[in-house]
């Protein structure tokens, strides 16, 4: 579906994407995980065929975006980072007119619009102005709109950023359904839980490069331990206490507000810490996540 070789994007002197190789297969959910400024959105815009490739090779659905932009875009669904809905049109007309832009005939557009209103659970808002919708509804409408042409490939740029937890789960459920219907999904996110939930395979991006690639499980197995013991001490004590627990795990990460001790047996770490007479304010043993993978690979957390 997507094949990139040595793909680069620069804006003047600034290089946002510094040569990445990506291969996305039909039917899979593929993720770009990374902090803001990692080059995810620039990559997405190149895939969406609205941003010329600076160098390297890019093929979308077997076509070259430089020459076949309209043909590629005809088979893509694009859900941008910000909801760019047509605020001057009603909810229904947003879907209808957008479908017409793809060259889809009137009757099919109308049928599709009604189906997608149901899919997005906003049928009762069909005649409402877009500006009167809640944030979650706007997001669902944006996603519904990106499906109007029954795309082969759906690009979702930070689909759940800014949504409340409930709205996120509704959206995840809908994305699962699409995947089951055979739509290839490409998702960017800086939420590791989202990446773990949705992606079959992902790349971790940092500063315009790919830091790691694999399934969420593979990445965690390869770059982290099974469990993590989180130790929270008083303000400013973490740096100094790090060396006192260093030998308890395979690795220790110092964060401003806590220490992370990586070990396959998290409970034993906590017990040992208490035996040494250290008194953390709070402890937590959890499984490793992609956040830990990212921390390991870049030395920074995703939220930065």
Partner 1 sequence: MALVTGIPAPLTPVSAARLLVLRNFIVYRSAWKLFLTGFLEPLLYLFSIGIGVGQLIDGFEFHGEQVPYATFVAPAMLATSAFNGALLDSTFNVFFKLKYEKLYDQMLATPLSTGDIARGEITWGLMRGSVYSAAFLLVMVAMGLVESWWALLALPATVLIAFAFSAVCMALTTWMKSWQDFDKITLAQMPLFLFSATFFPVEAFGNGVLRWIVEATPLFRGVVLCRELTTGVVTWESAVSVVYLVVMGIVGLLVVRRRLDTLLLT
Minimum distance from residue 27 beta carbon to partner 1 (Å): 15
Q: Which of residues 220-259 bind partner 1 (CB under 8 A)?
A: none
Query: Of 117 and 228, which CB lies nearer to partner 1 in the complex structure?
Result: 117
| 146 within 8 A of 161, measured Cβ to Cβ | no
Q: Which of residues 112-141 bind partner 1 (CB under 8 A)?
A: 112, 115, 119
Q: Which stretch binds partner 1 (CB under 8 A): 22-30, 98-106, 210-218, 228-236?
A: 98-106
Query: Of 23 and 82, which CB lies nearer to partner 1 in the complex structure?
Result: 82
Q: Is 47 in the site for partner 1 (CB under 8 A)?
A: no
Name the one residue in this structure whose structure tokens are 């809908």.
Answer: 174
Site string for partner 1, 65-94 (x = CB under 8 A): ----xxx-xxxx-x-x-x-xxxxxx---x-
Site string for partner 1, 179-198 (x = CB under 8 A): --x-----------------
Query: Which H or E element spans position 18?
Result: strand 14-24
Minimum distance from residue 154 beta carbon to partner 1 (Å): 12
Query: Which H or E element spans position 46?
Result: helix 40-47
Minimum distance from residue 115 beta carbon to partner 1 (Å): 6
Minimum distance from residue 208 beta carbon to partner 1 (Å): 16
Q: Which stretch binds partner 1 (CB under 8 A): 21-29, 105-113, 216-224, 265-273?
A: 105-113
DSSP structural state of residue 129: B
Query: Which H or E element spans position 63?
Result: none
Exactly one of 6, 36, 57, 101 binds partner 1 (CB under 8 A); which one? 101
Cα separation values, 241 from 17, 230, 237, 273, Å: 38, 13, 6, 11
Q: Which residues contact 209 (CB under 8 A, 6 or more apart)?
A: 18, 19, 20, 39
Q: Which residues contact 73 (CB under 8 A, 6 or more apart)?
A: 48, 49, 50
| 92 within 8 A of 100, measured Cβ to Cβ | no
CA dist 159 and 80 (Å) reads 8
Question: What number of chain residues touch partner 1 (CB under 8 A)?
Answer: 40
Minimum distance from residue 180 beta carbon to partner 1 (Å): 11
How many Å from the N-terminal Cα to the C-terminal Cα in the chain?
31
Minimum distance from residue 128 beta carbon to partner 1 (Å): 13
Phi-psi region of 49 (alpha: psi -120 to 50; beta: other; left: phi over 0): left
Query: Of 94 and 225, which CB lies nearer to partner 1 in the complex structure?
Result: 94
Q: Which stretch binds partner 1 (CB under 8 A): 30-38, 45-53, 197-205, 281-289?
A: 45-53
DSSP structural state of residue 125: G
Other C-beta atoms within 10 Å of 181: how many? 10
CA 95 distance to own-chain centroid: 24
Residues that bind partner 1 (CB under 8 A): 11, 48, 50-52, 69-71, 73-76, 78, 80, 82, 84-89, 93, 97-98, 100-105, 108, 111-112, 115, 119, 146, 148-150, 181
């Amino acid at each position: 579906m997507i094949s990139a070789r040595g793909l680069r994007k620069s804006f003047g002197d600034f290089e946002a994407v510094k040569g990445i190789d990506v291969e996305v297969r039909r039917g899979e959910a593929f993720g770009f995980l990374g902090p803001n400024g990692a080059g995810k959105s620039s990559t997405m815009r190149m895939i969406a065929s609205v941003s010329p490739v600076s160098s390297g090779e890019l093929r979308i659905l077997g076509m070259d975006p430089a020459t076949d932009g309209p043909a590629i875009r005809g088979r893509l669904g694009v859900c941008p980072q910000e909801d760019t809905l047509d605020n001057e049109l009603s909810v229904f007309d947003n879907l209808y007119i957008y479908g017409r832009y793809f060259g889809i005939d009137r009757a099919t557009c109308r049928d599709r619009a009604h189906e997608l209103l149901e899919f997005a659970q906003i049928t009762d808002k069909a005649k409402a102005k877009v500006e009167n919708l809640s944030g979650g509804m706007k997001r669902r409408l944006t996603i519904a709109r990106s499906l109007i042409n029954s795309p082969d490939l759906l690009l979702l740029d930070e689909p759940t950023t800014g949504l409340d937890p409930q709205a996120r789960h509704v959206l995840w459920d809908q994305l699962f359904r699409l995947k089951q219907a055979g739509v290839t999904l490409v998702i960017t996110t800086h939420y590791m839980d989202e990446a773990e939930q949705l992606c079959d395979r992902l790349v971790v991006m940092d500063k315009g490069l790919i830091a790691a690639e694999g399934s969420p499980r593979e990445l965690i197995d390869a770059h982290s331990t099974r469990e993590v013991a989180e130790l929270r001490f008083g303000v400013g004590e973490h740096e100094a206490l790090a060396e006192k627990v260093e030998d308890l795990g395979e690795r220790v990460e110092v964060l401003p507000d806590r220490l992370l001790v990586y070990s396959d047996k998290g409970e034993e770490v906590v017990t040992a810490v208490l035996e040494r007479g250290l008194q953390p304010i709070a402890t937590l043993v959890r499984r490793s996540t992609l956040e830990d993978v990212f921390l390991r690979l870049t030395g920074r957390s995703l939220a930065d």
